[in-house]
Amino acid sequence: MSEITDPRDELIEHLPAMRAFALSLTRNGATADDLVQDALVKAWDNLDKFEPGTNMRAWLFTILRNTYYSLHRKRKREVEDPDGVLASHLSEKPHHDGRLALEDFKTAFAELTDEQREALILVGAEGFSYEEAAATCGCAVGTIKSRVNRARARLAELMHLDDTDDLEMTDATTLAGLSGASTA
């Protein structure tokens, strides 16, 4: 066999993506990097369980999200204060050329549930197949699909993209209250 690459050497290539995924989960830079650090140590210690030739990024993301959820459960609401994103308000209307203001997008994204954020990132940003995303999140393919759909619908709603104009309110808390009622 020709040179078999040591998975340890491969880890570093996935670091930027791990940080991005962690940030989308935690919505806070410092917490995200702590999470990456924990996940990295875990991945390193368990590298013998990684099957060479399979998707290392998906494997790392699985570790990362498991780490996040166990931490999250422990800390409960303490980590719920992202970099002020929730506190900032959405601007009143989308730009008339239909382009979204990036900051508004970030704010809206931060309002999604954990499950919606991770599903959307994996499928929409990382380009995972629904199957890969489902495996990474340990859930059914249909679950991922509906999370992605709900995440997109929610973003559209928060960004006022749902071409109805009845959601003219600008107060983020009002919006949040509304959404709570509509998710049932």
Residue 39 and residue 63 in contact, taking contact as beta carbons nearer than 8 Å: yes
Residue closer to another protein by CB (options 85, 172) is: 85
17 lies in the site for another protein, by CB under 8 A: yes
| Cα of 103 vs its chain's centroid, Å | 16
Q: How far is the CB of 111 from another protein (least distance, A)?
A: 14
Counting residues that bind another protein (by CB under 8 A) gives 34
For residue 177, give every residue at least 6 positions away whose Cβ sits within 8 Å of its Cβ, in sequence order, or none: none
Q: Does 106 bind another protein (CB under 8 A)?
A: yes
Q: Per CB under 8 A, does 19 bind another protein?
A: yes
- Name the minimum Å distance from CB 158 to another protein: 10
Considering only 63-71, 75-83, 93-101, 139-147, which stretch makes contact with another protein by CB under 8 A? 93-101
Residue 65 and residue 25 in contact, taking contact as beta carbons nearer than 8 Å: yes
How many Cα atoms sit within 13 Å of 67 on the Cβ side?
Answer: 24
CA distance 154 to 165: 15
- For another protein, what does the binding mask look like between residues 31 and 60, x meaning CB under 8 A? --x--xx--xx--x----------------
